Amino acid sequence: MQNLKNHLKTISKFESAVSLLSWDFETYMPPKAAQKRAEIIGEIAGHAFKLFTSDKTGLLIEKAESEASSDIDKAVIRVAKKEYEKAKKIPPELFKEFQITTSKAQHFWEIAKNENNFAIFQPHLEKIVELTGKIVDCLGYKENKYDTLLDQYEPGLKTSQLKKIISYVKPFLVNFLDKIENGTKPDDKILTGDFSIEKQKKFSEKILDFLNYDKNAGRLDVSAHPFTITIGAFDVRITTRYSRSDLKNSIFSTIHECGHALYEQGIPEDFRELPIGEGASMAIHESQSRFWENIVGRSLNFWKFVYPTFCEIFSEFENVPVEKFWKAINKVERSFIRTEADEVTYNLHIMLRFEIEEALINNKISVKDLPVIWNEKMKEYIGVIPEKESDGVLQDVHWSHGSFGYFPSYMLGNLYAAQFYHTMTKDISDFDERILQGDFKSILNWLREKIHSKGKIYEPLELLKNVTGEDLNPEYYANYITKKFTMIYNL
């Protein structure tokens, strides 16, 4: 067991180097260095992959299996074995072809998006879908090809379960969106203007302090797309972005990434450099970021607490009542762009993508029809049709990466967050009061004890059941949305 752990820790150190180089790539690296840097990252990542897929790993896992007694050791073996067997099933030539295809596709996706022309991206996406199908065939599947893709991000979750959840959430959201039309629409003009980047930075730093992000074990920087990255133990970094005309963007990007980082900072030290030393799944990770961003960060009590600090920095808000500000940041809109979507419409954007992906991988639709299918679904779910392909089918980078199966994580994150929140308020009955007082520590401690300290020991649905005593139940999300937006829209 110890030999296996040492071997995995060695591999993890190479991955740490890759993380640091990648972080620098996205933040401070001079632009001319990009090409060479990509090569260096590729070389080291390739080396780590080779080490992991070597026969040595297989032998060490086999030997350790008979020795493992503790739950932690068993989990290390379970996660390592699953990854190892998966990696071994994909022929290196296919893996390489997939990598070359996707890196080319990203380039053409960018051009297609800029030129607002799906046809430029189409052949590349066709190739990606074809190769993804081949990879799924190598990995195997029982009921639905999409299960295999979903399993990469949300281990244990089946497509049939996801469809069942959607069959509840979709009609709920479509109806609720209609209902909101009759409510009082918040006025969000106050959120547009010219806001100093310096002031936004200052406020972002304040928020991180309030939320107990450990700055001695991390830092906040700027990148085109905000992200959180764990370089290694005691080094979990986040980025945000600042826009002079859009105040919301930096505030909620910072809180969102802080949520991811709090999870990573809460992983136990003795899990570090092991396969269990990370979040349980993509969606559990997203549940943490969205819990802090939406359930805490877009609540009235949160703003009642931070508003004095906020107004000290942005004096132009001194005469804006906090309730007005809170309503403005929660305005619901039938809009085209997923990343800018509010809490009510967001999951509809995800369902549309999931349905397209699932149909694509099972050869029920073809890539060339995507622009039409996209618009039909937009009309049906959200009620608007984008005029440009760049605001529609071309808006997300994910498919050019070949990341099929990833999108549902965002929706599941919202559902998990609401279910965790429900359980939390049973344990912390004065939750609202604590937020109002700025006592975020007791809330964080709850998450630490129930979720963060477990790392990747449990599969996501198992963890959810351990924490909440229930299987995934989308009613908690529906109740949360109904209660909150009934108040905001005076329904």
Q: Would you tell me which residues interact with Co ion (CB under 5 A)?
A: 289
- Closer by beta carbon to Co ion, 120 or else 238: 238
Phi, psi of 319 (to 5 degrees): -100, 10
Can you tell me whether residue 388 is helix, strand or coil?
coil
User: H helices within 346-459, ranges in order?
Assistant: 346-361, 370-381, 398-401, 408-427, 431-437, 441-450
Q: Which residue is nearest to Co ion (CB)?
A: 289
Structure tokens given for 470 = 């229930």
Residues whose CB falls within 8 Å of the CB of residue 346, separated by 6 or more in sequence, listed in order: 338, 410, 411, 414
At closest approach, how far in Å is the CB of 473 from Co ion?
22
- Closer by beta carbon to Co ion, 240 or else 289: 289
List 15, 154, 257, 357, catalytic entry: 257
Bridge partners (DSSP) of residue 237 are 229
At closest approach, how far in Å is the CB of 338 from Co ion?
12
Q: Does the annotation count 257 as an active-site position?
A: yes
At closest approach, how far in Å is the CB of 342 from Co ion?
16
Q: Which amino acid is at 246?
A: D
- How many Cβ atoms sit within 10 Å of the Cβ of residue 139? 17
Q: Which residue has the tokens 């700055």?
A: 215
- Closer by beta carbon to Co ion, 289 or else 395: 289
As a whole number of angstroms, the distance between CA 15 and CA 62 comes to 23
Q: Which residue has the tokens 């406020």?
A: 203
Bridge partners (DSSP) of residue 232 are 235
At closest approach, how far in Å is the CB of 351 from Co ion?
18
- Closer by beta carbon to Co ion, 263 or else 310: 263
Phi, psi of 222 (to 5 degrees): -120, 140
At closest approach, how far in Å is the CB of 162 from Co ion?
19
- Closer by beta carbon to Co ion, 151 or else 264: 264
At closest approach, how far in Å is the CB of 101 from Co ion?
26
Return the closest-CA partner of residue 460 out of 400, 417, 489, 428.
Answer: 417
| Angle, in degrees to the nearest 10, between helices 159-180 and 370-381 | 50
- Closer by beta carbon to Co ion, 95 or else 227: 227
Active-site annotation, residues: 257
